[in-house]
Structure 1
Amino acid sequence: MAGFQTAVNVQPAPAVAGDFADHNPRVSVEAGPGGLVAGAAGVTVGRFAWWKPNPIDPNGAPAIVDSFGAGPVTGFVHRAQQGLITDYLAGAGMLIPKGFPITLHSAGGFWVKNDGLTNAVVGQKAYANFSDGKASFAATGAALTASATGSIAAGTSTSVTGSISGNKLTVTAVGSGALVIGGLLSGTGVATGTRVVAQDSGTAGGIGIYTVSIANQAAASTTITQTYGVFTAASALSGLFQVGSVLSGSGVTAGTTITALGTGTGGLGTYIVDTTQTASSTTISGTTNVETKFVAMSAGLPGELVKITSHLLG
């Protein structure tokens, strides 16, 4: 069994990732009855996290939290002994299992592990990795990027028969193509801007039930079409693309975001993007993390704990 003490340190560890670093004011993210709770993959203590726009709690606020996402983080997961030991014979656990309640903090002071490749310096911004919420540190405006020579084309035409009730799309037949995560939906009674957030059940991309991005809808059974783009990373790869990466390059629509993996799993291959478009072969870059409001208040080597705070000096 791992986890037994095998050494004695002269200096004890200052904290555990996720601990409060001070007694300054803390701000928690608003949550209604039954929210916020961990998503299907669980949520890791001591990391940044994102909430999903759907499903919503009884007050109409997002209810699900994940350790991965896109865009600005929702908050930081502090340590309150809520992680569970789920691995057989494990000595510790930092994962909050699916469905367990979570308190996210959007402001305050915390200890976090430096999971970057460079030293953390006092005053640097904390960055959150889109794929796992891990923290790294760099100057303002220095988000990490991946790049490749590639292009973007319109996705395969998708047409299904389905209805929407609340934030659930029920597909009863497929005319052509397959639904993808992040694709834009349109049809009689479908709210403008509605996208597929997740598939709850059924055949992948086909008949089944899906969660959509806009709630409180009532669209009777009708023909629903979906548009999206396909980014192909063909050569000259640098770094790794991931879900949540915001793409940029000549001819690329501003804000284009990777919403799902195709044949690519970080390297060369295809990726689903949220905006249908045509961009000829060019150098396309994608961010892999996002700058947060938190700054480092102590130095730390990669793998060491660092104090972060949202209360800036000056």
Structure 2
Amino acid sequence: MGFQTQVGYQPAPAVEGDFASTNPRATVLAGPGGLVCGAAGVIVGRFAWASSSYIDADGAPAVVNSFGSGAPTGFVHREQQGLILTYLQESTMLVPAGFPITLFDAGDFWVKNNGSTQAVPGMKAFVAFADGKISFAAAGSAAGTASGSASSIAAGTSSVTGSIAGNVLTVTAVGSGTVYPGTTISGTGVATGTQIVSQLSGTAGGIGTYSVSIPEQTVASTAISGTYGILTVGGTVAGTFGVGQTLSGTNVVAGTAITALGTGTGGAGTYIVNNNTVVASTAITGATGVETKWFCRSSGLPGELVKMSSRAQG
């Protein structure tokens, strides 16, 4: 920002992330040791997602990130919790990794309109998977998208030897394939529907430890099979594909989402998805954001502050 060079004749109504009223508000439930900021920290004034990479003593997600997929867990209110860590930096909205964080799932807040069009009272709030930024549009509008006109999904598999304690899978040997986030695993004693959330340590995609989606498991060393999908983006590509996007297209199973990068880094290439249903070459679209339950409560041009509420009027 630099040294102040101008003075506004009308003070700003608020700072991004401030409460917009004294109406009742609610916070996201958290157990012992949670919630804390993930490795990249959390941005104030944006939405955030709880992750099961680590769980608290109650078996609930303990880590929060400013990126994710699906509906966000809650909103990050400004409580002067940002911390300047860079030499000569004048301001920040970043709460560093490991710091405690509170998420709100109800209330009224001031937020920045990060969209390209004017926000109008009654519009719904949309959140970007990549960074938790907020924009506004009519209910039912399509979130930002990326598309590949000739894309497909192939089935992928892996086979490892491993054990599970709590929500941590320890892989001691790899028979075939690669262990990716989003992989659905099965084996003797493994809870049905268990998926790999993220790798915690070890060789990428191989021997090491991984967090899984269903905690409180005790599985002795056994053969564990994994299934996932390999999305190949091709044809005419528009927009940017990335982790967290939900996919749609002919024969694409609802809820299919990108969980890891393959050879693709946003454009044509391969991406790992959480469903191994085979899809022949077709147009596949990836949603870069999602509509939330929150509403716009004041008008604001792109870049301006607007009021946002979890409550519908009327």
State the shift of 1:185 in Å. Answer: 0.7
Q: How does 1:46-57 map to 2 (within 5 A)?
A: 46-57=45-56
Hey, what does 2:18 align to over in structure 1?
19
Q: How far 1:264 moved relative to its partner?
A: 1.7
Aligned mates of 1:44, 1:61 — CA distance in 2: 22
Partner deviation per Cα, 1:137-156 (whole Å, 9 max, x = no partner):
1011112222112111112x
1:202 alignment counterpart: 202
Q: How far did 1:60 drift?
A: 2.4
Matches within 5 A, 1:1-314: 2-142=1-141, 143-149=143-149, 150-155=151-156, 157-314=157-314
1:82: Cα distance to partner?
0.5
Q: Distance in 2 between matches of 1:120 and 1:13?
A: 18
Contact 1:4–1:91, Cα closer than 8 Å, also in 2: no
Native 8 Å contact 1:18 1:79 kept in 2: yes
Alpha-carbon displacement from aligned partner over 1:154-200 (angstroms, at most 9, x marks no partner): 12x31111111111111111111110011111111111111111111
Whole-Å separation in 1 of the counterparts to 2:203 and 2:249: 35
Q: Distance in 2 between matches of 1:274 and 1:167?
A: 18
1:232 and 1:88 mapped to 2: Cα distance?
A: 43
Runs of 4+ aligned residues of structure 1 deviating over 4 Å after TM superposition are none
Please tell me the residue identity of whatever aligns with 1:23.
T
The size of the alignment, in residue pairs, is 312
- Specify the code of the residue in structure 2 equivalent to 1:177: G
Contact 2:53 2:198 in 1 (8 A): no
Using the aligned pairs only, state the percent identity: 63
Once the 2 structures are TM-superposed, how far is the Cα of residue 265 of structure 1 from its aligned partner?
2.1
CA–CA separation in structure 1 for the residues paired with 2:107 and 2:250? 40
Query: Deviation digits for residues 114-158 of structure 1, max 9, x if unmatched?
Result: 111211111110101011100011011112222112111112x31
User: What TM-score do the two structures reach when normalised by structure 1?
Assistant: 0.96
Kindly state the Cα deviation for residue 55 of structure 1 after the two structures are TM-superposed.
Answer: 2.1
Distance 2:60 2:161 in 1: 29
- 1:35 touches 1:63 (CA, 8 Å); kept in 2? yes
Whether the aligned pair in 1 keeps the contact of 2:50 and 2:62 (CA below 8 Å) is yes
Could you tell me which amino acid in structure 1 is paired with residue 119 of structure 2?
A
Q: Between 141-150 and 280-289, report the one with greater CA deviation.
A: 141-150
Q: Which amino acid aligns with 1:13?
A: A
Say if 1:3 and 1:90, in contact at 8 Å, map to a contact too.
no
Secondary structure of 1:210's match?
Answer: strand
8 Å contact kept, 1:198–1:211: yes
Deviation at 1:109, TM superposition (A): 0.6
Decide whether the 8 Å contact of 1:152 with 1:230 is kept in 2. Answer: yes
> What is the letter of the counterpart of residue 310 of structure 1?
S
Counterpart-to-counterpart distance in 2, 1:262 and 1:306 = 39
Contact 1:130 1:242 in 2 (8 A): no
User: Secondary structure, in 3 states, of the residue corresponding to 1:55?
Assistant: strand
- Residue 290 of structure 1 deviates from its aligned partner by 0.9
Cα RMSD for the two superposed structures: 1.2
CA distance in 1 between partners of 2:85 and 2:117 (Å): 32
Instruction: Tell me, in whole angstroms, the C-alpha distance in 2 between the residues paired with 1:198 and 1:244.
Output: 13
Structure 2 contact 59–216 (Cα < 8 Å) conserved: no
Paired with 1:240 and 1:303, the residues of 2 have a C-alpha distance of 22
What SS does the corresponding residue of 1:123 show, helix, strand or coil? Answer: coil
Output one character per residue of 1:46-70: Cα deviation in whole Å (capped at 9) or x when no partner.
0001111342211222111111111
| 2:138 maps to amino acid | A
Q: Deviation digits for residues 176-231 of structure 1, max 9, x if unmatched?
A: 11100111111111111111111111110011111111111111111111110011
CA distance in 2, matches of 1:36, 1:172: 30
> Which stretches in structure 1 are left out of the alignment for 5+ residues?
none
SS at match of 1:63: strand
Separation of aligned partners in 2, 1:199 and 1:177? 15
Distance 2:79 2:167 in 1: 32
